[in-house]
């Protein structure tokens, strides 16, 4: 129940929601997804390009490990706040195997998804007023997590003319004496951009020279196409290893978005602080989910290789179909499962007597008329673009983009 605020002077009681939380915007990606799912539930033939989650089920052996774990009463209890020791060890082993980065279990905090790792990392790193450089287009959660921790996101925009990748020169122009952290994500959500090893070395060298921390989000590490030569930032820039937080999780690699297991890796003092926060906030990640994550990490990468083949095929389909629409320019993304076309050529026009000036209005129009759900670039700090996840079935992709082609023919 919500009621109108009482009239008269503001009192602590009448300020209903704190300013800190009142300023948070709802996750635009989850909102679009929820709207699409609600319309679908009403029987409308909506095709959703909104959510960033694989359409595949979690591989059987992982589910079987979870089912078994459910039957064992020891898994009906709390785990240590920072995570099961076996899972931390599995994360250490996986990090060595996949990135070549050597870490210890004391450098690992198991979180409720990569999302909570980002929140915890910024909470542990930032004091009020500390600035974080956020390359844009950015994933919608980063600025909110930074602000919640008292920090100030400073956006640096890289558009399609530079393949959505920032340069050290741009970062230098945005750096002040309050800058504490550089946020880095490759492959990127929302653009799918993948930085090459040389580009990562250049950004890392710049951050090191400036005495900054780096938060590197590696959640899409296994979804890199075309054999692009890339790597993990603290491995390519070992001088930064003591000032780097790596965020990762099982969600995208093993089709486990709903299990809510991620982690942060960082220097032990920072991880200890973040673990203390977690001990008061959530206690620990669901025990059974942690057991499932152990099975995922202990297994091989066959399932993700299979998914990657499908994503790669869908990537080519969606990009070429989008580029057939006059007014749409879609670069080929090198990783993740998002296409990020510029739709500036479609704006400033009338459609069915309705004038459309922004990508947000365009996304609404597309949902109304074509029953296709897409997240507008406004959610990622770059109006004039749309983000389409291609983690959905091939037929749905073809049908959805065909509807757009017809709508804008
Ligand atoms: N980082 C990026 C760049 C993401 O796109 C996502 C999921 N959308 C996450 C982190 C978090 O994933 P999860 O919380 O599901 O592990």
For 71-189, where are the alpha helices, taking DSSP H only?
85-99, 113-125, 141-148, 168-174
* Average predicted confidence (pLDDT) for the chain: 95
pLDDT at 4: 54
With a cut of 90, say whether residue 2 has pLDDT above it.
no
* Beta-bridge mates of residue 248: 263
Could you tell me the pLDDT band of residue 23, with boundaries at 50, 70 and 90?
A: confident
Instruction: Evaluate: CB of 110 within 6 angstroms of ligand 1.
Output: no
Domain with CATH 3.90.1150.10 in the chain: 23-52+303-407
pLDDT at 5: 53
Residue 409 neighbours by CB under 8 Å, 6+ apart: none
Q: Which CATH class is domain 23-52+303-407?
A: alpha beta
Question: Model-level pTM?
Answer: 0.94
Domain with CATH 3.40.640.10 in the chain: 60-298
* Beta-bridge mates of residue 213: 181
Torsion sign over Cα 129, 165, 54, 341: positive
What's the CA angle centered on 288, arms 285 and 292, to 5 degrees? 100
Task: Give the residue, out of 50, 134, 141, 216, with the most ligand 1 atoms within 8 A of its beta carbon, to mutate for a pocket test.
Answer: 141
Instruction: Evaluate: CB of 219 within 6 angstroms of ligand 1.
Output: yes
Distance from C-alpha of 338 to C-alpha of 189, rounded to nearest angstrom: 7
- For 60-298, CATH gives 3.40.640.10
- 154, containing H or E segment: strand 152-157
pLDDT at 404: 98
What's the CA angle centered on 397, arms 396 and 400, to 5 degrees? 80
Atom in ligand 1 nearest the alpha carbon of residue 52: 8
Task: Give the residue, out of 58, 109, 115, with the most ligand 1 atoms within 8 A of its beta carbon, to mutate for a pocket test.
Answer: 115
Atom in ligand 1 nearest the alpha carbon of residue 188: 3
Residue 126 neighbours by CB under 8 Å, 6+ apart: 132, 146, 149, 150, 151, 180, 181
pLDDT digits (tens, 9 = 90+) for 223-236: 999 999 999 999 99
Instruction: Evaluate: CB of 254 within 6 angstroms of ligand 1.
Output: no
Instruction: Evaluate: CB of 139 within 6 angstroms of ligand 1.
Output: yes
With a cut of 90, say whether residue 74 has pLDDT above it.
yes
Q: Measured in angstroms, how far is the CA atom of residue 114 from the centroid of ligand 1?
A: 5
Segment among 43-57, 74-88, 263-277 with least mean pLDDT: 43-57
With a cut of 80, say whether residue 9 has pLDDT above it.
no
């Amino acid at each position: 129940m919500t009621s109108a605020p009482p009239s008269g002077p503001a009192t602590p009681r009448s300020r209903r929601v704190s300013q800190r939380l009142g300023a948070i915007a709802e996750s635009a990606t989850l909102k679009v997804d929820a709207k699409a799912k609600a319309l679908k539930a009403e029987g409308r033939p909506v095709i959703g390009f909104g959510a960033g989650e694989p359409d595949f089920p979690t591989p059987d052996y992982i589910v079987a490990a979870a089912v078994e774990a459910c039957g064992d009463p020891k898994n009906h209890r709390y785990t240590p706040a920072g995570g099961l020791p076996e899972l931390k060890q599995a994360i250490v082993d996986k990090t060595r195997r996949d990135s070549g980065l050597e870490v210890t279990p004391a450098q690992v905090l198991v979180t409720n998804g990569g999302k909570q790792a980002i929140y915890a990392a910024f909470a542990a790193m930032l004091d009020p007023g500390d600035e974080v450089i956020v390359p844009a287009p950015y994933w919608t959660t980063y600025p909110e997590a930074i602000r919640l921790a008292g920090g100030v996101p400073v956006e640096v925009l890289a558009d399609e003319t530079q393949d959505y990748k920032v340069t050290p020169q741009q970062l230098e122009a945005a750096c002040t004496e309050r800058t504490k952290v550089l946020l880095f994500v490759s492959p990127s959500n929302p653009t799918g951009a993948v930085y090459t090893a040389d580009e990562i070395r250049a950004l890392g060298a710049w951050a090191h020279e400036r005495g900054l921390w780096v938060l590197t989000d590696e959640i899409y590490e296994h979804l890199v196409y075309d054999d692009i030569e890339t790597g993990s930032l603290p491995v390519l820039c070992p001088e930064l290893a003591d000032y780097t937080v790596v965020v990762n999780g099982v969600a995208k690699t093993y089709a486990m978005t709903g299990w809510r297991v991620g982690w942060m890796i960082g220097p032990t003092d920072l991880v200890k602080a973040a673990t203390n926060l977690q001990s008061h906030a959530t206690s620990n990640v669901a025990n059974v989910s942690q057991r499932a994550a152990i099975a995922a990490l202990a297994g091989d990468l066959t399932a993700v290789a299979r998914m990657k083949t499908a994503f790669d095929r869908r990537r080519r389909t969606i990009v070429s179909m989008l580029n057939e629409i006059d007014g749409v320019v879609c670069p080929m993304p090198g990783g993740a499962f998002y296409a990020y076309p510029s739709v500036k050529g479609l704006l400033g026009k009338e459609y069915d007597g309705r004038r459309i000036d922004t990508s947000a209005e365009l996304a609404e129009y597309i949902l109304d008329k074509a029953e296709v759900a897409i997240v507008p670039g406004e959610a990622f700090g770059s109006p004039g673009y749309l983000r389409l996840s291609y983690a959905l079935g091939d037929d749905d992709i073809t049908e959805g983009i065909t509807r757009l082609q017809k709508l804008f023919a």
